Amino acid sequence: MENNFYAGTSNLVLPVKNKSFFPEVFQQGTRLTYYASLFNSIEVNASFYRMPSVKTVQKWTGEVPDEFRFSFKLHQSVTHALPGQFDLGPIPGFMEAVSATSKRGCLLVQLPPKFMWNLAQLSTLFRVLQPYGWRIAIEFRNPIWYRQEVYSLLQNFDVALVWHDMPGSASPLQSTAEHVFIRFHGPEKGYRGSYTQEHLQEYADLIREQLAEGKQAYAYFNNTLGAAVQNLQTLTNLI
């Protein structure tokens, strides 16, 4: 049966400091190959800052098992360059690169806090992205977006509302798609800290409920200056 739960860190984080601590079988390989022996997905946050290339994505794809999944964060030039609107120009090049992998997770879209409520813009973006065939998740950094009109639009396009805990814009646990996407930004400021066992147990129960409904679930720990790896291992064990 196909696995429907994918979890990892935001960008590549390992439980050891360097290759000298890798198991011997991985010491001649890449950091990604070792990471993929531990976890089954990664959120590529770096693609937000630097356009990925087809060659790089193909290389990564060859370094991980068939069941591994890559989720990519849409480049900031699309979402953050223009005030209150999207720049659709960079999308074809970006999507060509990330679609070079056969191991697709989700496409993560993050809106800046100053991007105000605009359903027409959002609808246009989804229409442009939809033909590429990726699952899409969107993270809002302004609570103005948490309203029924937005949820209905996300449902129409099968786009997941990202469940996240960023202070000031933490999301409701609203399901809007046939997949769920969770981002753990950390219990302390600056992507730091460690979540309690009790907190992770609550999310494990929630994820299991979604899986029981036949949905795919993606969970990524962005507290990379804290205990991201340890929290990820705990959540995975609880699931």
Domain ranges of the chain: 5-238
Query: Which pair of tokens denotes residue 94?
Result: 């970006």
- Fold for the domain defined by 5-238: TIM Barrel (3.20.20)
Query: Which pair of tokens denotes residue 146?
Result: 């948490």
Whether 98 and 69 have beta carbons less than 8 Å apart is answered as: no
Among 181, 183, 132, 136, smallest CA distance to 156 is for: 136
State which of 22-26, 30-34, 101-105 shows the largest mean pLDDT.
101-105
Q: What percent of the chain has pLDDT over 70?
A: 98
Average pLDDT across the chain, whole number = 94
pLDDT of 28 strictly over 90: no
Sheet with 163-164, strands from edge to edge, namely: 5-9, 216-221, 179-184, 163-164
Q: Residue 149: what pLDDT?
A: 96
The burial of 87, by beta-carbon neighbours within 10 Å (0-12 exposed, 13-18 middle, 19 or more buried), is given as middle
DSSP single-letter state for residue 220: E
pTM: predicted TM-score of the whole model, two decimal places: 0.94
C-alpha radius of gyration, the chain, whole number: 17
